Structure 1
């Protein structure tokens, strides 16, 4: 039990560090994406941290298997490098026994991943979809930030307000630059600039919203040409467009797992098998990582790291590709994703038993050579 606790502590500490780094990297990329949408006025900045919080279970369900795989390679690689594994081997620690000890923390991680994959991740996706749907119902007026130029309508409109009341009912110091595009070619035909002292939002009976500008000017023309037309107005109404929020979240990812069971829909079956494959992935990568972590102290602990990562990426990439094929009906439901796990399970077993078999064959060959001599 002392050896088991020692190995488990080493694995879990390394797993926590690796997973934290991977989580920060992935979340940073996604946060920058959402932050860009908020800067363009497509998202309310106040919901960014809520979205990232709900996305964490979906990130962790894929990070933890990779984190465990790397933790085994790094932790056990250090033990081999420091000759601790040599000492353990001298006391009777075989590869099979080491694998059995490793399956203890791996089972804990698999249960956590199953909870995330089958429960928390779909709930988080559903909450993110709800928030984004609420953002879709907003208008440009609702996402304005005073004192900031905001790009809207795919960059064709730039809006600036100097002042904005707390209830967003009144605006002051308004500047709007809108490019006029040709409907046929999409090329720019000119630019319209609106400036106004103040403005307000007005909701029509059909639900459409207008920004009513007061005491301002409208300028129409083409940049670089002296043919601008200036119009002074007392009141000017402009339809407020709803910002388009882009997202990579699919509807199936938000479906509760209990609704996927027993469904005959091809897409639902693909989603269910994917969710079940992620916890199974933990056990298969553990089987592959234990023999791959075995290194010669003269070679260094990072010798097998790159080939091991390539093997893991091949495993995950093949799973994703077969998920897409199953989703499109190109792969029978009866075959599903299980054959992918079977292939890499055989690779893991081959890695586990290859060294003992090689030594056994070498000893037999040596005995035969001595007998002939």
Structure 2
């Protein structure tokens, strides 16, 4: 039990560190993407951290198996390099016992991944969809940030307001630059610039919204040419378009797992098998990682790291490819993901028993050579 606690502690510490780094990298990339949409006025800045929080279970369900895989490689590789595994082997630690001890942390990770894939991730994505539906009802006026130029309406309009009231009902110091597009050929035929001392929002009975500008000027013309027109106005209405919110959320990924059971639809069954495959992935990558972590101290601990990562990526890429093929009807549901798991399980068993297989073939060659010489 002392050895089991020692190995589990070292493995879980490395797993936590690797998973935290991977999560930080992935979430940073996503957050930058969402932040760019907020800067363009597509998303309300106040919901960015909420969206990231609800997307986190979906990230973790894929990060934790990879973190466990790398954790075994790094932890056991260090123990082999520092000859601790040699000492443990001298005291009776076999590869089978090492694998059994590794399955303890793997069971914890598999339970966590099952909870994430079957419950937390669909629930989080459902909340993200609810937030996006709320964002779809917003307009440019609702996403304006004072003191910032915001590109809206497919990049053809730039809006700026110097000040905005706390209830978002009144604007001060408004600037709008909009590309005028021909309705006949769809090409840009000029630029319209509107400046106003203030503005307010007007909601029509049909739900359409307008920004009513007060006491300003409109400039129409082509940049670089002198033929422009200036119009002074007391009030001027600009229709507010709804922002086009684009965040990748799969159609099936937000459906609760309970609704997937018993539904004969191909997409439902494919999604259910995908969610059940992730906990199975944890145990198989553990089987793959234990023999791959064994290194010669003269070779270095990172010798097998790159081939091992490529093997893991091939495993995950195969599951993703099968998921797409099942959704498109290119593979039967009865085959599902399980043939991929069996394939890599076979690879893991070959790697785990490779030394025994090689030793037996070597013994047969020796016996055959002795018989020939005799």
- TM-score per shorter chain, which class? over 0.9
Runs ≥4 residues deviating over 6 A: none
- Go from structure 1 to structure 2 and tell me whether the alpha carbon gap of 1:183 and 1:346 turns closer, same or farther (over 3 Å shift): farther
Alignment of 1:252-331 (within 5 A): 252-331=252-331
SS for the counterpart of 1:60 is helix
SS at match of 2:253: helix
1:270 partner SS:
helix
2:159 alignment counterpart: 159
Per-residue CA deviations over 1:12-46 (Å, capped at 9, x if unaligned) read 00000000000000000000010000000011101
Matched, 1:95 2:99: no
Q: Which residue matches 1:354?
A: 354
Rounded to whole Å, the distance in 1 between the matches of 2:159 and 2:10 is 55
Task: Tell me by how many angstroms 1:285 deviates.
Answer: 0.5
1:232 and 1:323 mapped to 2: Cα distance? 60
Q: CA deviation at 1:364?
A: 4.6
- Paired residue for 1:15? 15
The structural deviation recorded for 1:369 is 5.0
* 1:43-100: CA deviation from partner (whole Å, max 9, x where unpaired): 1101100000111100000000000000000000001101111111112212111111
2:37 is the counterpart of 1:3: no
Worse overlay, 354-363 or 83-92: 354-363
1:134 pairs with 2:109: no
- Paired position in structure 1 for 2:223: 223
Q: Secondary structure at the match of 1:50?
A: helix
Matched residues in 2 for 1:153 and 1:27: separation? Answer: 27
**1:104-143 aligned within 5 A:** 104-143=104-143
Deviation at 1:367, TM superposition (A): 5.5
Name the structure 2 match of 1:49: 49
Partner of 2:187: 187
Could you tell me how far 1:359 is from its partner in structure 2? 2.2
Using the size of structure 1 for normalisation, the TM-score is 0.98
Q: Residue deviations 1:99-135, cap 9 Å, x none?
A: 1110011011000000000000000000011111101
SS at match of 1:321: helix
Root-mean-square deviation (CA), in Å?
Answer: 1.2
- Partner secondary structure for residue 180 of structure 1: strand
How far residue 180 of structure 1 moved from its aligned partner, in angstroms, is 1.3
Q: Secondary structure at the match of 1:253?
A: coil
* C-alpha separation in 1, matches of 2:253 and 2:320: 14
Deviates more, 1:357-366 or 1:194-203: 357-366
State TM-score, norm by structure 2: 0.97
1:219-253 deviation line (CA, Å, top 9, x unaligned): 11110100110000111011110001001101211
2:329 counterpart SS class: coil
Q: Distance in 2 between matches of 1:182 and 1:29?
A: 38
Question: What SS class does the counterpart of residue 252 from structure 1 fall into?
Answer: coil
Partner secondary structure for residue 353 of structure 2: helix
Output the CA distance in 1 between the equivalents of 2:348 and 2:24.
30
TM superposition shift of 1:187: 2.7
The 2-side partners of 1:327 and 1:367 are apart by 54
Structure 1, residues 182-218: CA drift from partner, whole Å, max 9, x if none?
3454432111000000110011111111111110001
Using the TM superposition, give the Cα deviation of residue 362 of structure 1 relative to its aligned residue in structure 2, in angstroms.
2.5
Unpaired runs of at least 5, structure 2: none
Counterparts of 1:359 and 1:88 in 2: how far apart (Å)?
22
1:183–1:309: structure 2 CA closer, same or farther, 3 Å change rule? farther
> Does residue 84 in structure 1 map to residue 84 in structure 2?
yes
Flag structure 1 segments of 5+ consecutive residues without an equivalent.
none
